[in-house]
Amino acid sequence: MLEHGGRLRAAATRYGIPLADWLDLSTGINPEPWPVPPIPADCWARLPETGDGLEEAAAAYYGNPNLLPVAGSQAAIQLLPHMLPRAVVACISPIYSEHPQAWQRAGHRLRFLQNALLPRALAAATPYVLLCNPNNPTGDRHPHAIALDAAHQLKKRGGWLIVDEAFMDPTPEDSLTPLAGTDEAPNLIVLRSLGKFFGLAGARVGFIFAAADILNKINEAMGPWAISGPSREASRLALQDTAWQAAARPRLIAAGQRLQALLTPLGEVKSTALFATLNSPQAAELHEALARQGILTRHFDQQPLLRFGLPGNEGEWHRLADALATWKPA
């Protein structure tokens, strides 16, 4: 099983620092999550079912009714490769590691294109192109027009474009989600999650947007009751809370820019509204030095990358700034 950010208990044990004393920046989850209200008792007592308004709320929020709720986008990541014929998949890398692992397990062959632009991925002439936008972990973005053109080019040769937009919510104008599975882009598949922008990672709710046949196959593979009743209710309410969404977007964008400015003296930095990634030969050394001070970041073993999530308050911002200011590379 792959390792991910958020493994705070393991870090507390390894470094001998109590759990409550840590500043966890290892994930890209909104540190000021949508405030979940009390959940009605019948959500706990009844089996979950469609018709409760979740699908309609998601269709309105994402601008596309061609959707299927899943138990976090992770569920779609694991099931989707089994729904398409085995072929060669071009992965624009580095990429969220669960993607290539899932495609390999399903019998597909992968071609990794390091830090590639979409035109290069198309030139590889593979049937499928897979990318994260914004990219996790690098923060790179693929412009909307270029990504949509890629879907059109792949359609001409019977291919598919698969896009993970887990970090797209702060900038919905850049999203391809409204086009997935439509007549304009029937070969476009988009994954979304409520775990990042809404900060509801524990609810395990996401969506896949695609053509109806793909959605039907995944729905059959998941079986009934894939998402709990309380999670469905909380997600429906969050998707409908347009006032909270409108206030959160500029705040998160400003925080992402602040984090990028804080890290820039240490090396090359790219950021989204929910995380910033430092590219530095000293990434592993800095990760270790911060961990010894109870600050957990996400180090990527295959590349010299160190990803920082957003601090949640001014005290946490100052704690991170002080730790970075006192760090001296070996």
Can you tell me the distance from the alpha carbon of 170 to that of 255, in angstroms, rounded to the nearest whole number? 12
Residue 117 has pLDDT above 90, yes or no: no
- Residue 307 near residue 263, CB atoms below 8 Å: no
- Hey, what are 222's tokens? 């998941």
Residue 211 has pLDDT above 70, yes or no: yes
| Range in 98-112, 120-134, 238-252 the model is least confident about | 120-134
Helix or strand or coil: residue 307? strand
In this prediction, residues 106-115 reach a mean pLDDT of 92
- For the stretch 211-229, what's the b/e string if a residue is b when 16 or more beta carbons lie within 10 angstroms of its beta carbon? beebbebbbeebeeebbbb
Residue 1 has pLDDT above 70, yes or no: no
Query: What's the fold here for domain 41-240?
Result: Aspartate Aminotransferase; domain 2 (3.40.640)
What's the pLDDT score for residue 283? 94
On the question of a common fold for 8-34+243-326 and 41-240, the answer reads no
State pLDDT tens for residues 157-204. 999 999 999 999 999 999 999 999 999 999 999 999 999 999 999 999
Can you tell me the distance from the alpha carbon of 278 to that of 271, in angstroms, rounded to the nearest whole number? 9
State pLDDT tens for residues 235-269. 999 999 999 999 999 999 999 999 999 999 999 99
State pLDDT tens for residues 282-308. 999 999 999 999 999 999 877 899 999
| Range in 98-102, 124-128, 144-148 the model is least confident about | 124-128
Domain ranges across the chain: 8-34+243-326, 41-240
- Hey, what are 250's tokens? 């500029």
Split at pLDDT 50, 70, 90, the class of 6 is low
In this prediction, residues 47-57 reach a mean pLDDT of 95
Q: What is the DSSP letter of 44?
A: H
Q: Facing residues of 130 across strands?
A: 91, 162
Residue 2 has pLDDT above 60, yes or no: no
CATH code assigned to 8-34+243-326 = 3.90.1150.10
Can you tell me the distance from the alpha carbon of 158 to that of 253, in angstroms, rounded to the nearest whole number? 37
What's the pLDDT score for residue 329? 79
What's the pLDDT score for residue 3? 58
How would DSSP label each residue in 199-228? Answer: --GGG--EEEE--HHHHHHHHHHH-S--S-
Structure pTM?
0.94
What's the pLDDT score for residue 107? 97
What's the pLDDT score for residue 5? 59
Give percent of the chain with pLDDT exceeding 90: 89
How would DSSP label each residue in 57-80? Answer: HHHHHHT-S-EEEESSHHHHHHHG
